[in-house]
Amino acid sequence: MKRLLPYSAVLMGLLLLLPRLLTAQQMEPEEPEIVLPRVVLEIEDLSVETVRTGLPKSEELPSPWREHPLPEPGELRITEASFAVQAPDDGAGKPSGRKDFVAEAIVGTGTPNHFFSRISLYKYGGLPEGSLFFQHEMFDGFSENPPGSGYNYRDDTLKGTVRFGIGDVEMRTTGSFSDTERGLQGQGNYYSKLNRKVKGTVAARYEISEQFHLSGELDGWGASQLLVGTPSGERTSELVLSPQVKGELLLENVYLALTPRVSYRNVASNPALSVTRVGVKGDIGITIGEKYRLDGGIGWFYSDPTYHLLPFHLAFTLTQSELFTLQLKGGYEIDEYDLAYIFEQYRYSAVGQALCDSHGWFFDAGSRFTLSERWTLSADVSFKDQSGMITAEGTPDPVTGLFPTRQKKALRLGVDVGARWTITSSISARFGIKSEILDNPEFFPRHKISADIEHSERSGRYGAGLLSSLFIGENEWVQSPVIDLYGFYRPIDYVRFSLELSDLLLPIAGIPRYSWYPYIERGFGVTLKAQINF
C-alpha cells in the first residue's frame, strides 16, 4: 500500500482542482441552452429478445467489466450516467388510469419439477421513483433423473432501485441479492454448489451548471461459493469496494470527462487473490455534423499484478440517416476479473490460486444496414489480444466435482452476422451466426447458429414462436439443435397465459444434452404460466 500513496495523493489533487479549472473556462459568455446533441439510432436489435424463462442455455462468454465497451446500436455517443428508472415492457398492458405505478405477477409450473414465480413493482413519473423485483425458479430431475439426486437448479433473485433528490443533488441507490444452487449430479463428494451475491450501489449527481456536472459512486458487493454436502466444503468469498468520482464538461458538440477510481478486493481465505486497483481515465467525444462522431480516451491503471498500464481507445461512428451505421473502435484495454465473474459465468468451475486482470490490444467493428422495410442486416467483428484469458481444465476434480480454472495468453477473433426479415406486419424471422475463429475458453461454444420465427396478432391478443439454436464446439459430443416452441393468449388486457416447450428434439436424439461434460442440461420440458398486470 505504501507504493500506492503517491498515486492516491496525485489523484486527490486532480480531483480538488478539477471543479475550479473547468468552471473557470465557463467565465466567457456562452450561448444559452448549450447541450450536447445526442445521436440515437432507432434500429431494432437483431438478437432474439423473447421474454421467456428457464435454465440458462449455453451461450458465448460475456465480457467482464470493460473500460471502453463498443456503443450499442441504440446509443452511439458517450453520455452521462443514466439515473432513470425504466418502466416494464410487459406485453400485457397497463391500466391507463395509473401511469405512475405498475405491478406484475407471474406464476408457472412444468416439467421436470419446474416452479417459477416473479413479482415486479415499478413507481415512476417523478421523484421519488423506484422498482422492486423478485424471482424464484427451480428445476429438479434433469433428463428424467429422479428428484433429489443432484440433477437440479435453483435461482432466487431480489433487486431494488430508488431514485430521489436531496436539494439540487440527484441520488440513486440500488441493491440486489442472488442465491443460485446447481446440483453436482454425483460428480465428486458434494451434492451441489451454492453461489450467493449481495451487491449495493450509492450514486450522487450534482449539476454545478448546464455545462459542468459532478457525480460520485460507491459500488460494493460480497460474493461466495460453497459446496453443499456432509460435511460442507470450504466457503470461498470475496468482498469488493469500488468508489469513483466523475467530472463532466458538456460544450457544443464536445464532451469531456475525467474519472478517478479505486477498487479493492479482499479474499480472506486466500490473500493471494486480494488486490488493490487505482486508476484515472479521461474521455472526449466530438460530434461532427449529423453523421459523424469521434470518441477517444486515455487513462492510467495500476495494480500489484499488472503494475502500470496506459489503456486508451479511439472510436469513429458514421450514422447515414437511419438506414446505415458503421462503428470502428480500437486501442489497448483492461478486463478486470473478480471471483463473482467466475462464479456466474463458469458454472461448474472452482477459482484457482491466482486471478489477474487481463490486458491487451483490441479492435471492434460493427455495422447495421436496413435494406428495405422488410430486411435489416448486421455484421460485427472483434479482435482481442488477452494476456490472461480465463479457461477451465478439461477434467473435473474428483473430490469437488468442479473444473479448476486457469489463465493463459490468447488471441481471440469473433464474427457475428445476423438478419431480420419482416415477412408480414405480424410475422418476422431472425437468423444469426456467431463464431470464435481463434482461441476460445473450454466449454463455451465455438460456433452458434440460430434461426427463429415469431408471430404476434396485431393487437397482441395471441402469438407463438419457434426458436432454434445449434451449438458447435462446446465439447466432443455432436448434439442436435435446441428447438423451443412457445405460444401465448391474452383473454383480457391485463391477463396473459403462455405455454412453453423446450428442447423438443432431445427425446428423439435419445441421449442427454451436455454442455460442461459430464454435466447434463435440463432436457425436454413443458411449462405453463399465468401473468397479470395491474
Q: What is the pLDDT of residues 374-417, one digit of tens each?
A: 999 999 999 999 999 999 988 999 999 999 999 999 999 999 99
pLDDT at 26 over 90: no
pLDDT at 485 over 50: yes
- For residue 17, the tally of other CB atoms under 10 A from its CB is 10
pTM to 2 decimals? 0.79
pLDDT in tens, 451-460: 999 999 988 8
Do residues 528 and 501 touch, judged by C-beta distance below 8 A? no
3 state SS for 4-50: HHHHHHHHHHHHHHHHHHHHHHHHCCCCCCCCCCCCCCCCCCCCCCC
Phi, psi of 338 (to 5 degrees): -130, 165
Q: Cα–Cα distance between 478 and 476 in angstroms, integer?
A: 7
Q: Cα–Cα distance between 455 and 423 in angstroms, integer?
A: 10
Q: Look at residue 67 in the predicted model and tell me its pLDDT.
A: 39
Reading phi first (left if > 0) and then psi (alpha if -120 to 50, else beta), residue 503 is in left
Q: Cα–Cα distance between 484 and 46 in angstroms, integer?
A: 18
Look up cell 500513496; give the residue: 5
- For residue 34, the tally of other CB atoms under 10 A from its CB is 12
Reading phi first (left if > 0) and then psi (alpha if -120 to 50, else beta), residue 294 is in beta
Q: Cα–Cα distance between 484 and 525 in angstroms, integer?
A: 10
- Encoded amino acid at 290, one letter: E
CA torsion through residues 267, 270, 272, 273, sign: negative
Phi, psi of 478 (to 5 degrees): -95, 115
Do residues 269 and 234 touch, judged by C-beta distance below 8 A? yes
Look up cell 401473468; give the residue: 531
Q: Cα–Cα distance between 91 and 415 in angstroms, integer?
A: 32
Q: What are the E-state strand segments in 321-426?
A: 324-336, 349-350, 358-370, 375-392, 403-422
Do residues 502 and 525 touch, judged by C-beta distance below 8 A? yes
Q: What are the E-state strand segments in 210-274?
A: 212-228, 236-251, 254-266
Look up cell 470475496; give the residue: 238
Q: Look at residue 57 in the predicted model and tell me its pLDDT.
A: 53
Split at pLDDT 50, 70, 90, the class of 6 is very low
- Encoded amino acid at 120, one letter: S
| Portion of the chain with pLDDT greater than 90, in percent | 66
Give residues with Cβ within 8 angstroms of 482, minimum separation 6: 57, 468, 469, 470, 471, 502, 503, 505, 513
Q: What angle do CA 79, 81, 84 make, to 5 degrees?
A: 115
Do residues 301 and 309 touch, judged by C-beta distance below 8 A? yes
Q: Cα–Cα distance between 232 and 185 in angstroms, integer?
A: 16
Split at pLDDT 50, 70, 90, the class of 316 is very high
Q: Cα–Cα distance between 182 and 205 in angstroms, integer?
A: 40
Split at pLDDT 50, 70, 90, the class of 36 is very low
Could you tell me the three cell numbers for 94? 397497463
- DSSP letter for 311, please: -
Could you tell me the three cell numbers for 142? 434433469
Could you tell me the three cell numbers for 222? 460480497
Reading phi first (left if > 0) and then psi (alpha if -120 to 50, else beta), residue 474 is in alpha
Give residues with Cβ within 8 angstroms of 166, minimum separation 6: none
pLDDT at 185 over 90: yes
Give residues with Cβ within 8 angstroms of 239, minimum separation 6: 220, 221, 222, 265, 266
- DSSP letter for 514, please: B
SS3 content of the chain, % helix, strand, coil (to 5): 10, 55, 35
Do residues 321 and 287 touch, judged by C-beta distance below 8 A? no
pLDDT at 40 over 60: no
pLDDT at 33 over 50: no
pLDDT in tens, 187-206: 989 999 999 999 999 999 99
| Portion of the chain with pLDDT greater than 70, in percent | 81
Q: Cα–Cα distance between 157 and 167 in angstroms, integer?
A: 33
Residue of 204, 222, 206 lying closest to 214 (CA atoms)? 206
Q: Look at residue 510 in the predicted model and tell me its pLDDT.
A: 79
